[in-house]
Amino acid sequence: MSAPDLIAMVLVLAGCTFFVAGTAGLLRFPDTLTRLHALTKADNVGLGLICFGLAIRDGSLAGVTMLIIIWLLAMFAATVSAFLIARWHSPESDPGDRP
């Protein structure tokens, strides 16, 4: 196995570890905010590492650009939804925000 492949494999496995840890946190943590905290790590770092590893394996400009866009879009959506869930949950939030 060549060096780039090995690096890619390590990165993807590390990303998977973040997802497993994030899922464990989502299931085990006691309240909404700590669960969100665990989940965002999986979304941001885990997906980033996986995309990074896949980008090394892919190597083409188009493929790498698409992986970066996927990562950025997923991060943006995850950030906003986590923020809105946290805001909806927090007791001092403005009731007007609640859907």
Partner 1 sequence: MSAVIGAAYDLLLCAGLLWVALQAMRIREAFGAVVVFMVFGLLMAVVWARLGSPDLALAEAIIGAGVTGALLLNACQAVQTDPGARRASARVEPSPGLPHGLIVAVCIAAGASLAALMALALEVPGPTADAARAGADAHPLGNPVTVVLLDFRAYDTLMEMVVLLAAFLGARVLIDQSELAPLHPPVPADPPMVAPLLAMATPVLVLTSLYLFWAGSHAPGGAFQAGALLGGLGVLYRLTGRLEPYDHTPIWLRTVLVVGLIVFSGVVLAAALWSPWPMRYPETGLYPLVLAIEFALLLSIAATLTALFSGTAGFRPHTGARS
Q: For residue 37, what are its two tokens?
A: 């905290």
Residues 89-96: contacts with CB within 8 Å, 24+ apart? 89/32, 89/33, 90/33
CB of 95 to partner 1, least distance (A): 10
User: Which string of x and - marks every residue 19-58 that binds partner 1 (by CB under 8 A)?
Assistant: ----------------------------------------
Q: For residue 21, what are its two tokens?
A: 């840890």
Residues that bind partner 1 (CB under 8 A): 73, 76-77, 79-80, 83-84, 87, 96-97, 99
